[in-house]
Amino acid sequence: MLEWAAGLAIAGAAGITTWAAVSPWSELFGPVLRRADSPGAMALTFDDGPNPAITPALLDLLERYGARGTFFMIGRHVRANPQLAAELVERGHAIGNHTDTHPNLIWLSPARIREELTRCQDAIGEATGLAPRWMRPPYGFRGPQLAPVLRKGGWTGMALWTRAMFDWKPQPPDKMIRRMARARGGEILLMHDGDPFIERADRSHVLRALERWLPRWAEAGMTFPTIDELKGPALAMATS
């Protein structure tokens, strides 16, 4: 009986730890920003770029409807496309740190996490002259060692999401259009303009879906703040 109870406790602890490491709603390993702060606002975020195959067209689409996004960029892609990273900033979009090579941070030491973030920060700084305030852990995965690294490094915190579009693989645009129909004001949407390991990844389905929904959201009066313009519990990380 005691062995069974101990096993159940271990399983429960393992389940809680797993949830804390992967859920965008968990704050067990540090506060996270996961919602927009107004029911009339929707934050559009894009991971894994910049991607010369799709990001320029995406920037044109966003501009057409007066929308701004937040691009969580991978350092090695920024070094390969510094002009595109600079263009993002010049056109009024926000940028975030998505590490240098997109590793699973759960398994990395604090020193390795710091190296990943610093290399990405340096690449973004060289390309744009700016230092991102927010980071997004690859896959949303984090362990207890991440938050202390962010505090010591001066980052504002972790920006996660309310709703994922499950768009990281090529797919018919209609699938994403249907998923996007469930998006609501007050949410941070997770989308992808790139791929961690492919420089010119096919993200045409993302563009097609946004071509369908952006004009409808704009007509309904939705605003599109960047992550830098939101307020949330993750801001406590800067002073804790």
Say what the pLDDT of residue 191 is.
98
Each residue's pLDDT tens digit, 152-161: 999 999 999 9
21-39 average pLDDT score: 90
> Does 232 score more than 90 pLDDT?
no
Q: Is 122 an annotated catalytic residue?
A: no
118-125 average pLDDT score: 98
Which residue in the list 77, 98, 192, 205 is annotated as catalytic? 192
Q: pTM for this one?
A: 0.91
pLDDT band at 21 (very low <50, low <70, confident <90, very high): confident
> Does 150 score more than 60 pLDDT?
yes
3-state secondary structure the chain: CHHHHHHHHHHHHHHHHHHHHHCCCCCCCCCEECECCCCCEEEEEEEEECCCCCHHHHHHHHHHCCCCEEEEECHHHHHHCHHHHHHHHHCCCEEEECCCCCCCHHHCCHHHHHHHHHHHHHHHHHHHCCCCCEECCHHHCCCCCHHHHHHHHCCCEEECCCEECCCCCCCCHHHHHHHHCCCCCCEEEEEECCCCCCCCCCCHHHHHHHHHHHHHHHHCCCECCCHHHCCCHHHHHHCC
Q: Is 192 an annotated catalytic residue?
A: yes
pLDDT band at 49 (very low <50, low <70, confident <90, very high): very high
Q: Report the chain's mean pLDDT, rounded to a whole number.
A: 91
> Does 12 score more than 50 pLDDT?
no
Does 4 or 27 have the greater pLDDT score?
A: 27
